[in-house]
Amino acid sequence: MDATPTNSTSGARSHARAQAQQASMRIPATPDDVDPARLIWAESIPANGYATKVLARGSRIRLIDVDGAACAHLLLYRAEAPWERLNVADTMKVPWQAYLGTGHPLLSDQGRVLATVVADSSGRHDMLCGPDATGRQLLLLGAIKHGMDIRDVAPSVSLFRGVRVEPVSGALEFTGSAGSGAAVDLLVHLPLVLVLANAAHPLDPDPPAGALDVLGWHAGEQLGNPVNDDPEYQRALQNTEAVVRAW
């Protein structure tokens, strides 16, 4: 990652040009199950790169670990009220589950569903450790683009690099990647600012460096089909829909 300071015009220019030199210009192909007319985002994030996007309610986002060598650190902010953002502690506590997978809500600290994991072929994720120093700096760069600062870079979710808790000792066990082509789909319930950093996991003893593909499309009709009937999830959906109806 380029460490050039960005608090001057020359520094910002040098940083931007370094980012451009490192960027992958490959555009991910539209999946067979997505209507190209609905596509809103197609980007490949290289290792030690980041991306950010403002997303409408009803967007569906697919993250793909192209070579089995990506680690996606994710932050979410409510677009029209960014003080409300992803709360990793509640995302574990409310569904009674520390391990992310299909059907898991990504919750704010207001008890609302920001997004739901609606598909997952990886199963190797982490909500306990957060990113390394590089990943945190990349998340900060994404947050700055939306008028935020380091105080807004809260604990993140890490996708495609797994961690489990050893049941006897309580030690954290790094379980690595599920391999190339693993994907996670998120369905967005409220207008969001999404920030992604593709950087090493802090427990990875030999972190690889590979691309993270991102695809997004309109899928608002899917909001009417809850992915599970857990009472905690249903309550969080009710909290979310109450805000939508109030607009």
User: pLDDT at position 57, please?
Assistant: 98
Q: Confidence class of residue 12 from pLDDT cuts 50, 70 and 90?
A: confident
Q: Confidence class of residue 2 from pLDDT cuts 50, 70 and 90?
A: low
Question: What are the two backbone dihedrals, phi and then psi, of residue 224, each rounded to the nearest 5 degrees?
Answer: -85, 5
Nearest in space to 47 (alpha carbons), one of 29, 24, 26: 24
User: pLDDT at position 187, please?
Assistant: 98
Q: Inform me whether the pLDDT recorded for 51 exceeds 90.
A: yes
Q: Inform me whether the pLDDT recorded for 74 exceeds 80.
A: yes
What average pLDDT score do residues 25-51 get? 92
CA distance 20 to 145: 17
Q: Confidence class of residue 208 from pLDDT cuts 50, 70 and 90?
A: confident
Q: Confidence class of residue 212 from pLDDT cuts 50, 70 and 90?
A: very high
- How does pLDDT run across 60-70, given as a tens digit for each residue? 999 999 999 99
**Boundaries of every domain in the chain:** 40-220+228-245
| Percent of residues, the chain, with pLDDT higher than 70 | 96
- How does pLDDT run across 81-92, given as a tens digit for each residue? 999 999 999 999
Lowest mean pLDDT among 64-68, 138-142, 189-193, 227-231: 227-231
Top-confidence residue, 9 or 77: 77
**Arithmetic mean of pLDDT over the chain:** 92
Q: Confidence class of residue 4 from pLDDT cuts 50, 70 and 90?
A: low
Q: Measured between alpha carbons, how far is residue 144 from residues 29, 86, 89, 98 in Å?
A: 29, 17, 24, 29
Q: Inform me whether the pLDDT recorded for 24 exceeds 70.
A: no
Does the CA dihedral 83-89-95-97 come out positive or negative? Answer: positive
Which secondary-structure segment (H or E) carries 89?
A: helix 88-93
Q: What do you get for the CA distance between the two ends of the chain, in Å? A: 41
Nearest in space to 96 (alpha carbons), one of 245, 228, 244, 238: 228
